[in-house]
Chains A and B, each alone.
Chain A
Amino acid sequence: KAGVTQTPRYLIKTRGQQVTLSCSPISGHRSVSWYQQTPGQGLQFLFEYFSETQRNKGNFPGRFSGRQFSNSRSEMNVSTLELGDSALYLCASSFGRTNTGELFFGEGSRLTVL
């Protein structure tokens, strides 16, 4: 069974640009959640999607957005990039919303903003 796939793995952007990250969950999983990981703040919840609907959203500005497609694949977008957006962005999938804890993580997309 293929794991959670995130693309791209690494990317470098400059301030003011925008970026789109992609996440393909494990086949059959309908819930996708996104996290931002930085050395200072640790892992912080961005948002969760289930059956194409955003279910929960963390405390991030509106520049951070996402969506989920009918095949459960998800994308997140960050517009008007700031230096502080440099982070490892992790996507996790689970079968349903009730399985809150056992998340299956991708290897992440490391974003560097110059």
Chain B
Amino acid sequence: SQELEQSPQSLIVQEGKNLTINCTSSKTLYGLYWYKQKYGEGLIFLMMLQKGGEEKSHEKITAKLDEKKQQSSLHITASQPSHAGIYLCGAEGGSEKLVFGKGTKLTVNP
């Protein structure tokens, strides 16, 4: 079955700094999804990438999909305390609705 590995597991940055979160798949990616979760709450959909080389941005968050490397990256520019939370990548896992990585916990210090 497909597995997604995220790195780093946790990240502490100073407000205003840029950061990158990576998601690597054990199998070919046909669709990659990024979600954000506030502690103990539900997930909020951020964006979906479907084609190799695809790049999408929403406000200060940019995600890219590298199909050859079976990898996606999420980049946050000029981080703010509101960006804090857990970021999870998800991919279509065959018989499963979505397979998720274990998440990257982001802390942004003011």
Contact = CB atoms under 8 A, between A and B. Distances in A.
Interface SS of B by simple majority:
strand
A56 B97 contact: yes
B88 interface: yes
Select the residue from B40, B42, B48 with max chain A CB neighbours within 10 A: B42
A108 B42 CA distance: 6
Contact of A45 (B40, B99, B103): B99
B78 interface: no
A75 interface: no
B110 to A, nearest CB: 26
A49 to B, nearest CB: 10
A105 B13 CA distance: 27
B97 A33 contact: yes
B97 A103 contact: yes
A88 to B, nearest CB: 7
Q: State which size class the interface on B falls in.
A: 20 to 34
B48 A108 contact: no
Nearest to B50: A101
Q: State which size class the interface on A falls in.
A: 20 to 34
B97 A42 contact: no
A58 interface: yes
A95 interface: no
Nearest to A100: B92
Nearest to A110: B40
A101 B93 CA distance: 10
B40 A88 contact: yes
A81 interface: no
Interface of A: 4, 33, 35, 41-43, 45, 48, 56, 58, 88, 90, 92, 100-108, 110
Interface of B: 31, 33, 35, 40-45, 48, 88, 90, 92-93, 95-103
